[in-house]
Amino acid sequence: MYAAYRVFMPKHANVTCIIPDDCILPCSFRPTGTVVIHWYKQQIPVHSYYYNKDQFGLQNKHFSGRTGLFNSNIPHGNASLLLRRVKVQDKGRYKCYTSTRKGNQEVFINLEVKALIQSVIMEMTDEMVTCSSHNIYPVPQVTWATDPPSAQEALENSTIKTTDHKGLLTVESTLRILGNLSNYTYFCSFIAADKTQVWTASRKNQEGITQEEGHALSIPCIAPRSLQNFSLIWTFTLSSEPTVIFRYESKTRHTFNLWEGQAELDQDLLLLGDGSLLLHKPDIEEQSGMYTCTLSGLQSRHTVQTRVNITVASISVDEQSVQRSWWSTAASAAFFLFTVTVALPQCVRKRATETRSAAHRFNGAGFVEVGLHKHLNTTASYVIGQRGVNCNRLQLQFEAQDEVADGTPNTAHDCTAALPPAAKIEQEGNPGGPLVEGDDGLLSSSLERDGFGNIEPGHHIS
Least confident of 232-246, 247-261, 376-390: 376-390
User: Would you state the pLDDT for residue 356?
Assistant: 60
**CA 361/CA 355 separation, integer angstroms:** 10
- Please tell me if the domain spanning 11-114 has the same topology as the one spanning 209-311: yes
- Residue 283 pLDDT > 50, yes or no? yes
DSSP codes of every residue in 310-377: EEPPPPPHHHHHHHHHHHHHHHHHHHHHHIIIIIHHHHHHHHHHHHHHHHHHHHHTTSB-S-PPTT--
pLDDT at position 338: 64
HEC readout, 409-459 = CCCCCCCCCCCCCCCCECCCCCCCCCEEECCCCCEEECEEECCCCCEEECC
167 Cβ neighbours under 8 A, 6+ residues apart: 87, 88, 89, 137
| Helix (H) / strand (E) containing 209 | strand 209-212
Q: What is the CATH number of domain 209-311?
A: 2.60.40.10
Q: pLDDT tens-digit profile of 312-361?
A: 877 654 555 655 665 566 667 666 676 667 666 666 676 666 666 555 44
Q: Pick from 349, 369, 388, 352: which is nearest to 428 by CA? A: 369
CB 425 within 8 A of CB 462: no
Taken in order 385, 386, 387, 391, is the CA torsion positive or negative?
Answer: positive
Q: What is the pLDDT of residues 373-412, one digit of tens each?
A: 333 333 333 333 444 434 344 343 334 344 433 444 444 4
Q: Is the pLDDT of residue 260 over 60?
A: yes
Percent of the chain surpassing pLDDT 70: 66
What pLDDT score does 318 carry? 55
Write down the CATH number for the domain with range 11-114. 2.60.40.10
pLDDT attached to residue 167? 95
Instruction: Assign 3-state DSSP to the chain and report helix, strand, coil percentages, each to 5.
Output: 15, 40, 45
- Residue pair 63/14 in contact (Cβ under 8 Å)? The answer is no
| CA 202 to chain centroid | 24
Q: What is the pLDDT of residues 111-124, one digit of tens each?
A: 999 999 999 999 99
**What is the rounded distance in angstroms from the CA atom of residue 8 to the CA atom of residue 4?**
13
The CATH code of domain 121-205 reads 2.60.40.10
**Whole-structure pTM value:** 0.63
Domain ranges of the chain: 11-114, 121-205, 209-311, 351-462
CA distances from 422 to 276, 351, 361, 418, 442 (A): 93, 21, 10, 11, 11
